[in-house]
Chain A
Amino acid sequence: DAMVIQNPRYQVTQFGKPVTLSCSQTLNHNVMYWYQQKSSQAPKLLFHYYDKDFNNEADTPDNFQSRRPNTSFCFLDIRSPGLGDAAMYLCATSRAGGMNTEAFFGQGTRLTVV
């Protein structure tokens, strides 16, 4: 059974048109992450939540926002997508309280900007 679910799997959006990607989890994990992964590159951390505490990476563009209305759901909002934002977006979760806890990943949403 899928534990971290990302919707949609594929998203096409127009240049400059706001888009929202969603992530849900059935693991009841405190921590949720959003990563951007471009082709054959390392996943780049955009931000993460510890419960409701939001942690933004210093180099994450303002164009990227996130919401976490409850433990199970987290959203990535891209306010004005540019061609450079085309990528795979990965959501991950983990339990807090121990660095040894593994992160569980969703299958990702591949975003295309046209």
Chain B
Amino acid sequence: AQTVTQSQPEMSVQEAETVTLSCTYDTSESNYYLFWYKQPPSRQMILVIRQEAYKQQNATENRFSVNFQKAAKSFSLKISDSQLGDTAMYFCAFRNAGNMLTFGGGTRLMVKP
């Protein structure tokens, strides 16, 4: 079974600054995908970024990038130039070949003006 751990229950950042959210996972599988999802208050969960375990290059989507360290089983999310609309719960998630999508406990991010 997979486990996903997010060690930061809450974080805050000033608008326009950079913040990094941590995620670690545990699995015995060799091929999998990792995702970061965003859940704004009272709104549905949406995908932020994804990373394939076989790719060494870190994924980037505009202001969002990841630092994927496979050996350490670490998958952190960096948000650059934080905006007020980035305020949300962020969930790290793991997907295996069996279609199971497992989430971490989440990090509540508050962007302050």
Q: Which chain B residues in 43-68 approach chain A with CB under 8 Å?
A: 43-47, 50, 52
Question: Is B44's CB under 8 angstroms from A105's CB?
Answer: yes
Question: Is A106's CB under 8 angstroms from B105's CB?
Answer: no
Which of B32, B44, B97, B100 has a CB less than 8 Å from the CB of A48? B100
Q: Mark B88-109, 1 if CB is under 8 A from A, else 0.
A: 0101000111111111111010
Question: Is A42's CB under 8 angstroms from B108's CB?
Answer: no
**Chain A interface bracket (under 10, 10 to 19, 20 to 34, 35 or more):** 20 to 34
Question: Is A42's CB under 8 angstroms from B103's CB?
Answer: yes
Q: Mark A75-114, 1 if CB is under 8 A from B, else 0.
A: 0000000000000001010101001101101111000000
Tell me the complex Cα distance, A105–B89, Å.
Answer: 15
Tell me the complex Cα distance, A94–B50, Å.
Answer: 14
Inter-chain contacts of B33 with A (CB < 8 A) = 99-100
A31 close to B (CB within 8 Å): yes
Tell me the complex Cα distance, A99–B27, Å.
Answer: 15
A40 close to B (CB within 8 Å): yes
Task: Point out which of B52, B96, B98, B99 has the most chain A C-beta atoms below 10 A from its C-beta.
Answer: B99
Report how many A-B pairs have Cβ atoms within 8 Å: 57
Give the Cβ gap from A9 to chain B, nearest Cβ, in Å: 10
B7 close to A (CB within 8 Å): no
Question: Is B97's CB under 8 angstroms from A99's CB?
Answer: yes
Question: Is A48's CB under 8 angstroms from B99's CB?
Answer: yes
Question: Is A102's CB under 8 angstroms from B44's CB?
Answer: no
Inter-chain contacts of B44 with A (CB < 8 A) = 4, 105-108
Instruction: Please report A residues at the B interface, Cβ cutoff 8 Å.
Output: 4, 31, 33, 35, 40-45, 48, 50, 55, 90, 92, 94, 96, 99-100, 102-103, 105-108
Instruction: Please report B residues at the A interface, Cβ cutoff 8 Å.
Output: 4, 9, 31-33, 35, 43-47, 50, 52, 89, 91, 95-106, 108
